[in-house]
Amino acid sequence: MPELPEVEIVARRLGRWLVGARVTSATAPGVVTMRTFDPPLEALVGREVTGVRRAGKMPIVEFGDLAVLVHLMSAGRLGAFEGRASARDRRVRLRIGFGDGRELRLREFGTQQRAWAKLLPAAEVDADEAVATLGPEAWPVPPLDEFAALVRQPRHLHPLLRDQRTIAGIGRSWVDEILWTARLSPFRQGDDLDDDAVTALRLACDEVLGGALEHYERVVGDSLPDKAPMPLHVHARQGEPCPRCGTTLAAVFFKDHVTTYCPQEQTGGRVLKDRRLSRLLR
């Protein structure tokens, strides 16, 4: 799933390529994709792209006083292409064609239709429920006192950092990298962190997310790959040696995600076997 660095690089590139492009068509082949009906998508025709930005993990494409807010969910991708999509391409959920022949497409991989979009007055985007309920952006990271207040909650750090209402932009991949960088257990409670741990966690957010973005700026050229290789050190690399200390990385498997960590540096040498056992440990 695209997280803050992946969506930020998409927003930057789409902004670079599309600002000034004039819309000639706008349709939503995904029958459940559009969550708004008024104004209709056709209201975009004749308008120019004026900007592309991001709120948490959601891209926002602006067309003057209208804007398209997109939630990619786990398998959605937003990209610009030369030429029109084939009508038989079943991955296309939303397509906006431009006078120069290019097309902005929201595509979704897999069979489920979960990605969604809203066409809203640009001035109302930040008040939309999906945006208004987001916590502060994880990058650039909030000041220390604000960050400390956000994370000092009686919850495990792993779900806490992935909770978009607490802090926006971090998902299943980057949370592992951030906790590994800060040398903190995914099962530490937020309100159990001393000042040094909060400082380390905040620095890790900034370093890891900012570093990923710098990486994408270097490697993403004139086209956006559907799945840019993520510069991950530990996530989903259980069984491999920790790049820092050489200890074999371990993982806890949940129903729909995996948490990878270094037992030596993050959990005091303890290998957590499963979710029930992990609940006993911090």
Contact set with Zn ion (CB under 5 A): 242, 244-245, 247, 262, 264-265
Least distance CB 274 / Zn ion (angstroms) = 21
Would you say 11 or 242 has its CB closer to Zn ion? 242
Instruction: Return the number of the residue (212 or 234) whose C-beta is nearest Zn ion.
Output: 234
- Please say which residue, 199 or 247, places its beta carbon nearer to Zn ion: 247
Q: Give the shortest CB-246-to-Zn ion separation in angstroms.
A: 7
Nearest CB to Zn ion, comparing residues 173 and 260: 260
Question: Could you tell me the strand order of the sheet in which 66-71 lies?
Answer: 51-55, 58-63, 66-71, 116-121
* Residue from 165, 238, 160, 154 nearest 205 by CA: 160
Using the minimum distance from each CB to Zn ion, give the nearer residue, 132 or 245: 245
| DSSP result, the chain | ---HHHHHHHHHHHHHHHTTPBEEEEE--STTTBS--SS-GGGGTT-B--EEEEETTEEEEEETTEEEEEE-TTTEEEEEEESPPPTT-TTEEEEEEETTSEEEEEEE-SS----EEEEEEGGGGGGSHHHHT--SBSSSPPPHHHHHHHH-SSSBHHHHHH-TTTSBS--HHHHHHHHHHTT--TTSBGGG--HHHHHHHHHHHHHHHHHHHHHHHHH--SS--TTPPP--SSTT-TTSBPTTT-PBPEEEE-SS-EEEE-HHHHSTTPPP-SHHHHTT--
Q: Among residues 207 and 265, whose Cβ is nearest to Zn ion? A: 265
Which is closer to Zn ion, CB of 173 or CB of 264? 264
* CA–CA gap between residue 62 and residue 65 (Å, rounded): 7
Nearer to Zn ion, 13 or 235 (CB): 235
Shortest separation between residue 17's beta carbon and Zn ion, angstroms: 40
143 class by beta-carbon count within 10 Å (0-12 exposed, 13-18 middle, 19+ buried):
exposed
Using CB atoms, what's the residue nearest to Zn ion? 242
